[in-house]
Amino acid sequence: MKYLIKNATVVNEGDCFEADVFIADGKIAKIVRKGEVFDAGNATVIDATGKYLIPGIIDEHVHFREPGLTEKADIYTESRAAVAGGVTSFMDMPNTVPQTVTYELLQQKFDLAAEKSLANYSFYIGATNDNLAEVAKINPKEVCGVKLFMGSSTGNMLVDQINALERLFKEAPCLIAAHCEEESIIKRNTLLYKEMAEKGEIKADATIHPLVRSAEACYQSSAKAVELAEKTGARLHVMHISTQAELGLFRNDIPLKDKKITAETCPHYLFFNNQNYVDKGFAIKCNPAIKTAADQQALTQALSNGLIDTIGTDHAPHLREEKFTGDYFSSKSGFPSIQNSLNILLLLYRKNIISLPQIVNLMCHHPALLYQIDRRGFIREGYHADLAIVDLDTTQTICNEDMYYKCGWTPYNGTQVHSHVTHTFVNGNLVYENGEFHEEQKGVKLEFRR
């Protein structure tokens, strides 16, 4: 199928310009600048007048829950939500059932995605204290990275033995994506606040979450990971940075291509702060916890000053009964967000906090560069035609009923936004169009230039 996207404002590589984009054979075949003459033949024309064309978003950080937890979400449902939000590629985490800690289980997830996913995909292999031989089997040209849990409730995937950590940092064949929270601090705080709740001194509600999973826990663990990476020369990406203190661990005085230690944050750390626990409650309980307004402000500033390199969603659905039944100590951490991530970032754009090219850098260009993804993340001739058309002049209210998530809810319920994705192309296939899905073609496995 051939398409000609006409009269778009293209946002790409630091620039905004008017152009037509011709898609053929799954690739961006021609970028036609304003004033140039081009014959697209019998291509299907999509008029993007007044709208913006961006590269498809690459979400490096999702939990699609398949296999084993498909009552919450699955690859099919969440990839539908992804493309509705302009996300054309995702990288899924290994804490499923069974946990993806062997090469064989990793291949099984690739097989599932080939059958089900509307977006392009890759999967992390999870590190444990004793699976380095499995990690060593992966082909870095086919697997996005190794996920390292240095904290959080992850069962056997918590890597806390220093010998195992040092070996992993020395021998990992590709990028290490780390969840950094110091487990000993979290356990100490959990016991403290549980005792206080039992005595009636505090309420076991969502407001204690950033006290239990504290800024200290985040900083100590991130600092340890950065120290190990500096010692070994490992390629480290610290995920979901949530505190101002952690930002001091990263550099902004060198180009992204020269960085070996990089940082990600998520839309919820930019949009919410600890005051929102009062009205949102367990809906915004996630790990690491959403912290203070000062942390929120520092993270927002870091989007522009180069200390934050990428934005991923940490999309992590749970059923309503797992989130909202019971007290703090029984409520699950995590929430769905992939369908809403671009609209939330565009709210910052409307407030003149961040520019459109900066959003594209953080959500499209930088993930492609950081993970060395082959021919994606940019609007360039010869690249795969992963694209999203965005209307920036439509006011709507996010509501649970409009979500494509299997769990059927969002913490952004009731938020007014002023944008929406009208069309999403994956590998040159129009998969989403004004609320309708075209599911004949599936996404493909991401390839990496390593």
Going residue by residue through the chain, which has 450 residues, state the pLDDT in tens, using 9 for 90 and above: 999 999 999 999 999 999 999 999 999 999 999 889 899 999 999 999 999 999 999 999 999 999 999 999 999 999 999 999 999 999 999 999 999 999 999 999 999 999 999 999 999 999 999 999 999 999 999 999 999 998 655 556 788 888 999 999 999 999 999 999 999 999 999 999 999 999 999 999 999 999 999 999 999 999 999 999 999 999 999 999 999 999 999 999 999 999 999 999 999 999 999 999 999 999 999 999 999 999 999 999 999 999 999 999 999 999 999 999 999 999 999 999 999 999 999 999 999 999 999 999 999 999 999 999 999 999 999 999 999 999 999 999 999 999 999 999 999 999 999 999 999 999 999 999 999 999 999 999 999 999
What pLDDT sits at residue 158? 83
What pLDDT sits at residue 155? 55
Q: What is the 3-state secondary structure (H, E, C) of 195-233?
A: HHHHCCCCCCCHHHHHHHCCHHHHHHHHHHHHHHHHHHC
Write phi, then psi, for 448 (nearest 5 degrees): -125, 140
Rounded Cα gap, residues 338 and 267, in angstroms: 10
* Residue located via tokens 């769905």: 336
What pLDDT sits at residue 430? 98
Residue-by-residue DSSP string for 93-145? -S-SSS-S-SHHHHHHHHHHHHHH-SSEEEEPEEP-TT-HHHHTTS-TTT---
* Residue located via tokens 């075949």: 29
Do the Cβ atoms of 159 and 180 come closer than 8 Å? no
How far is the CA of 140 from the CAs of 64, 149, 173, 341, 405, in angstroms? 22, 20, 6, 28, 31
What pLDDT sits at residue 159? 85
> At a CB cut-off of 8 Å and minimum separation 6, what does 379 contact?
10, 12, 13, 21, 28, 31, 53, 54, 55, 387
Do the Cβ atoms of 206 and 284 come closer than 8 Å? yes
Rounded Cα gap, residues 147 and 85, in angstroms: 25
φ/ψ region of 24 (left if φ > 0, alpha if ψ in -120 to 50, else beta) reads beta
Give me the domains of the chain, ranges plus CATH numbers.
3-53+384-396+417-437 (2.30.40.10), 57-370 (3.20.20.140)
What pLDDT sits at residue 151? 67
Q: Break the chain down into helix, strand, coil percent, rounded to 5.
A: 35, 20, 45
